[in-house]
Structure 1
Amino acid sequence: MTKMVAEELARCEVCARAKYVRTPQETPQMVTPTPEKPLDVVEADLVFLDGAIRLTLIDRLTRFVYNYPLQVKTGKRVREGLLLFLATVGTPRTLVLDRGREFDNFLVRSLLEEFRVKVHWTTPGHSRSHGMIERLHGTLQEHLHILRIGRGMTDEEAWARALLAYNSSLHSATGYTPLELMRAWQREDSPVSIEYVCGELVDQDDRKKRDRVDRLNNKATDRWNRVQAGDYVFIKNWYRRRKTDPRFVGPYIVDTKLSRFRLKVKCVETGHVRVIPANQSRPPRARLP
């Protein structure tokens, strides 16, 4: 049944036009520490949709999501949203933030220092360090489009229902709903053993990370060995936002093979030069003149 549903969705033109594509840039892969309990590591970011600004937070272990509407994109409003999260959900050990001025300011820093929350600042251009919350935003936007367009709901009701649906749905990475894991952590009489689940999730996450690092490194090495200077290649479409957009664009010609599995390529049509990871390229499907 699952396979039939997936095949039907793949043929749906409306789904392809509406579905958000999550294709972050490939970066050098390293195994990062895995949170061992809820609120060990929480990611926070702003999401913009149809002129509305909201602060979103997600717990890396349980995948529990919290969302707070902002009137304007300022440090004061972000501080209010973070304070409400601390008051209602709890104090995280580490908060992952980007270097935007709405986060990197005196008001937010002083609040986090007061509650002894460590801050991990992400590196610009390394979207994988914020990958979980970026994927979350894509999922929430799909839910919002369905609720607002299909059911004619207001923005506030659509956001509330989208968050409820996400927190109440089984997550493929954990096998539980985010609400189940958060309640298991907060209540001693929960039927879910949070110690057992956390241990299993940590082991499982570590295995997945190592497998992914090995797979991407092998892919980069394979592409690097096959391509030569003067070859034609197509590169990943960095601006792809819909399923109907092409995955690769080009052609480009390989100018130089650089260190760390990178390629210096030049667009045949415009002459624009860029440097890309080798695993973001593919050979043309047909011979080019």
Structure 2
Amino acid sequence: MENGEENIRKMFKIKRLEKPKLNNTILIEGLPGMGNVGKIAVDFMIESIKAKKFIEIKSNSFPNSVFVNEQNLIELPKIELFYKNVKNQSFVFLGGDVQPMDENGCYNFCEEILNLFEEMDGKEVITIGGIGLPNIPENPKIFTTGNDKDIVKKYKTKHITNNIYGVVGPIVGVSGLLLGLSKERNIPAVSLLAETFSHPSYLGLKGAKKIIETLSNMFKLNVDTSDLDGEIEEISSEEKNISKELKKFIPKLPVNSESGTSYIG
């Protein structure tokens, strides 16, 4: 058992830039996925509230590629953790440009994140993702599900429904596994999922904005989403024509037979 845990530890290079004092910590995850809803939401919140990076993670379970940065030099893919203390509550944001490539790597990565989270006085996990639709939603609905009835009830509002059974298939990737593995550790965990267009190049800005506003209001984060409005307006003016063209070339996404929706991480 110890050898197994040691091998898992070797999969991840964890660089601690700072050891902040964290209390009552809530983890908010948003990695690349359907419509990049989670990534957009978390990246925007990090920048808006000036959250500070304190951990970098690299791993051989991440994609076998490098990125070219603004200095025209290469970087290995990494996932980062940022923190922000608001009164007596700490928020840790999990963001990055990649997810682990396979099932084994994803399980090990999520276990490692939860190990770190438990060291941070971790109390609650929130994951953010997208529900893929065959058409562009004009007014995306937000759904919630989780590993505990009480936490789902907490996030259910008049704008967010928990009537999700039969609407989506499996929640794939880090956004899904963090919920399941948190349950094994008795950590309440919830997912916020926004409807979005299923094409890989589409950005689910409208859904991301709704989720940002929900979390900002709930936790009094004072996130100003006005910067997203211009981008949403620009995309909205073009997306009808774009979607018509895209449908000529993209294969049809497998969907839930009852609802016509699907979820892919």
What's the TM-score, normalizing by structure 2? 0.30
Pair member with larger Rg? 1
**Greater fraction of residues in strand:** 2
What's the TM-score, normalizing by structure 1? 0.28
Which structure has the higher relative contact order (CA within 8 Å, separation 6+)?
A: 2
**Greater fraction of residues in helix:** 1
